[in-house]
Amino acid sequence: MMNDSSLSHSRASSCSKLPHSHSTPVGVDGGVVGCSRTPPTTPKKGGKMLAIRVQMLDDSITMFQVQAKAVGRVLFDQVCKQLHLLEADYFGLEYQDSSGTRYWLDLEKPLARQVGLTLVDPLLYFCVKFYTPDPAQLEEEFTRYLFCLQIKRDLSQGHIQCNENTAALMASYIVQAECGDFVAEDYPDASYLSTYKFVPHQDRDLERRIMENHKKHAGQSPAEADLNLLETARRCELYGMKMHPAKDHEGVPLNLSVAHMGIVVFQNYTKINTFSWAKIRKISFKRKRFLIKLHPEGYGYYKDTVEFFFEGRNECKNFWKKCVENHGFFRCSTVK
């Protein structure tokens, strides 16, 4: 096992992109790591082994070896150990099925049953799973750094909805953290930003705004810039939101998302309703029907049970499971 990961605590002293992907073999040990709520499971020696690639938040790829019968926690603990990650509960591993649907790896179920032994060189993704509404609660600077890598990815992929001024501000904090203070002699114009991809449709005007903001951040350390990025990102409407296509009982196309406050309903990426955890009595699914049973005081103009319809059972169960996990994490209680 390597002692250092490419996701190191240090920053590059010059303005450059993060390292490109590489592959590092890692052993099968899975010790106690970070803040895991359940003790890690150590596989017995012998048996068929799986070679699994994990893409980190800086896009580097590390190879892990685990027993085919091992549960997901064995792999997750190896990843956290490789990263020297303490606040592990905020993170998870995602995998993708043949249709492109992404699922969180279940840490208590056999890895092979989820990833599939038939897959050649399976790939999982290490990601932020639970987006904290208050980044100041993150105790470790390295945890905040990982959150910033996730925000950087979300911003570049268009998952964060914000105006151009806010996008330019967030991008400028990324530049400050990675490049340091703006130096006019080194950066005579905004061309030093052209190698970065901050947003899907980036242009020269946005890069000029980023540069102007970058000038204002003189003296900010990487850690301060990271926290400023997270504080700005958390106020954006789609912070931590991942869209799940569904329909209402009238067949109107919608998107559902789950976050720290509850279940959010979007139409054309415009928020039309939020079912807060306090209003929800029970969530369940039947085949492709997703059901939200409300407390009496939460009915409003709704019935006591609100229905949404997914493309199929797998998609419906996937969203239901994400709701249960988010509720459990942010409310610290059980939803049946």
Predicted pLDDT at 98: 78
Predicted pLDDT at 35: 36
Domain residues for 224?
135-233
Report the number of distinct structural domains present in the chain. 3
11 part of a folded domain: no
Please check whether residues 220 and 273 belong to one and the same domain: no
Q: Residue 35 and residue 42: Cα distance in Å, rounded?
A: 17
Predicted pLDDT at 298: 55
Q: Could you give the angle at the alpha carbon of 328 between the alpha carbons of 160 and 78, nearest 5°?
A: 80
Predicted pLDDT at 333: 43
Three-state secondary structure string covering 174-187: HHHHHHCCCCCCCC
Q: Residue 86 and residue 140: Cα distance in Å, rounded?
A: 8
Read off the CATH number of the domain in which 79 is found: 3.10.20.90
Last residue of a domain, one of 92, 109, 128: 128
Predicted pLDDT at 40: 43
Please check whether residues 140 and 222 belong to one and the same domain: yes
pTM of the model: 0.83
15 part of a folded domain: no
Predicted pLDDT at 97: 82
Q: Estimate the crossing angle of helix 164-179 against helix 222-233, to 10 degrees.
A: 160
User: How are beta strands 49-55 and 91-96 bridged, if at all?
Assistant: unpaired
Q: State the greatest distance between any 2 C-alpha atoms of the chain, in Å, as a whole number.
A: 65
What is the helix (H) or strand (E) element at residue 222, kind and residue range?
helix 222-233
- Which positions of the chain have pLDDT values less than 50? 1-6, 8-10, 12-14, 16-43, 333-336
Please check whether residues 34 and 110 belong to one and the same domain: yes
* Spatial contact of 101 and 318, defined as CB atoms under 8 Å apart: yes
Please check whether residues 225 and 256 belong to one and the same domain: no
Predicted pLDDT at 15: 58
Give me the residue label for tokens 């492109």: 100
Please check whether residues 111 and 95 belong to one and the same domain: yes
Please check whether residues 139 and 217 belong to one and the same domain: yes
Where residue 287 falls (left for φ over 0; alpha for ψ -120 to 50; beta otherwise) is: left
Last residue of a domain, one of 233, 268, 298: 233
* Spatial contact of 115 and 124, defined as CB atoms under 8 Å apart: yes
Predicted pLDDT at 153: 96
Please check whether residues 183 and 108 belong to one and the same domain: no
Q: Estimate the crossing angle of helix 222-233 against helix 141-156, to 10 degrees.
A: 50
* Spatial contact of 288 and 313, defined as CB atoms under 8 Å apart: yes
Per-residue pLDDT tens over the stretch 62-104? 999 999 889 999 999 999 999 999 999 999 999 988 778 889 9
Please check whether residues 124 and 29 belong to one and the same domain: yes
Predicted pLDDT at 85: 97
Last residue of a domain, one of 111, 128, 145: 128
Q: Residue 88 and residue 70: Cα distance in Å, rounded?
A: 19
- Nearest Cα neighbor of 159 from 227, 243, 246, 57 is 243
Per-residue pLDDT tens over the stretch 21-55? 333 334 333 332 233 344 444 445 567 888 999 99
Q: Which amino acid is at 310?
A: F
253 by Cβ neighbours in 10 Å (0-12 / 13-18 / 19+) ranks as: exposed
* Spatial contact of 224 and 232, defined as CB atoms under 8 Å apart: no
How is residue 279 written in tokens?
A: 């209003």
95 by Cβ neighbours in 10 Å (0-12 / 13-18 / 19+) ranks as: buried
Predicted pLDDT at 45: 58
